[in-house]
Amino acid sequence: MIIKTQISRTAVRADFLLLLTAAIWGFGFVAQRSGMEYVGPFAFNGIRFILGSLSLLPFIFFRRNRAKGSFINPRRLILPSLAAGSCLFTAVMLQQFGIIFTTAGNAGFITGLYVVLTPVFGIFIGRKTGIPTWIGSAFTLTGLYFIAGSPGVVNPGDIIIVVSAFFWTAHVLLIDRLINNANKKETIIEPQPDLNADERSGGDSPLDPLELSAGQFAVCGIFSLIGAFAAEPFIGPAMRRIDPSLLSAGLFAWKPFLQLIYAVGDGTILISFNALVPILYGGLGSVGIAYTLQVVAQRDAPPAHATIILCFEGCFAALGGALLLAERFGAWTLLGFVLMLAGMLVTQWDVILGRKH
């Protein structure tokens, strides 16, 4: 009885950490949208992913020292980090541009399309996809139709987020391939590391998930900063010509990254406190803290729990948008949210029931 109680408390704690992780990730969409009022899209992602990569280093060192293991040869990380980081860079930049034109809630739920797309595209790499996946896909696509708005009216931001979901799907499958998870249980959550992955795979996993994550985040951050120097001076003027209302909304009131750098040289404050909050949240919160919480929680959380709880990321994105950005959603949009969430869960029905493919 005592053992059962301890197990129950451990599971509850793990579920709470997973719920907190989903909340941090969901509110991260609010940070992404509000950050665009002060910092350009490339600079925002560049800074936050560099911060995210650095924030994982203490955890990697702690884990290695505790396990008395050796670090992977850095040369073995270069190509995998470049491949995964390039895919991640494309996904996050599309998402960042898409969120300019749509709400945080829409972005959160539509990004969740990768939950459905991952098992569907898994067919092309030899994975089995059952009936629940197709039923869930129907629910999700129906929900997406309602989220998109009135017939004949398509939000360009929603379309961009849909495209980004395909790259998130490719990223999930690529990470799965790189860390050799063929014998590991399938899950629909983002490709987060599991502390016991090496033990369960018999020590044959060629790459450590945390070290690969730090590497790909660094690559994504570097590519984003290059884009900040090369592209941001032209983005604002171009978008003002396309839609002047964006300037009045404050979404393109930021200065190009080069001007911010020059401002530092002149002794001017780099960016305001209002800009630091979303940047730090996106880098240290969404990547560093939430990443670590998810790793710790998955040691004790049943896969079904993780599947269900982390699907609520979109719900927290919608809640954060309503509370912090005063976003309002009509009845059809809310129905779309419900249908998309149902589709995500139905897609993972076999995982929830504990069945094996």
Residue 215 and residue 213: Cα distance in Å, rounded?
Answer: 5
Is this model's pTM higher than 0.85 or not? no
Residue 149 pLDDT > 70, yes or no?
no
- Average pLDDT score over residue span 306-310: 71
Residue 247 pLDDT > 80, yes or no?
no
Residue 194 pLDDT > 90, yes or no?
no
For residue 357, tell me if it sits in a domain.
no
- Average pLDDT score over residue span 88-95: 94
Greater model confidence, 257 or 85: 85
Residue 64 pLDDT > 60, yes or no?
yes
For residue 119, tell me if it sits in a domain.
yes
Residue 244 pLDDT > 50, yes or no?
yes
- Average pLDDT score over residue span 315-334: 85
For residue 302, tell me if it sits in a domain.
yes
The confidence score (pLDDT) of residue 176 equals 76
Residue 201 and residue 180: Cα distance in Å, rounded?
Answer: 9
Say how many domains are in the chain.
1
- Average pLDDT score over residue span 280-290: 87
What is the Rg, in whole angstroms, of the alpha carbon atoms belonging to the chain? 20
CA nearest neighbour of 333 among 160, 152, 151, 145 = 145
Write out pLDDT tens, residues 104-143.
888 988 888 887 887 778 777 666 667 777 787 788 878 8
- Average pLDDT score over residue span 89-113: 89
Query: What are the φ and ψ backbone dihedral angles of 126, each rounded to 5 degrees?
Result: 90, 15
Cα–Cα distances in angstroms (integers) from residue 100 to residues 34, 243, 246, in the given order: 9, 11, 8
Residue 343 and residue 287: Cα distance in Å, rounded?
Answer: 26
Query: What are the φ and ψ backbone dihedral angles of 84, each rounded to 5 degrees?
Result: -70, -40
Range of the domain at 301: 2-352
Residue 298 pLDDT > 70, yes or no?
no
For residue 300, tell me if it sits in a domain.
yes
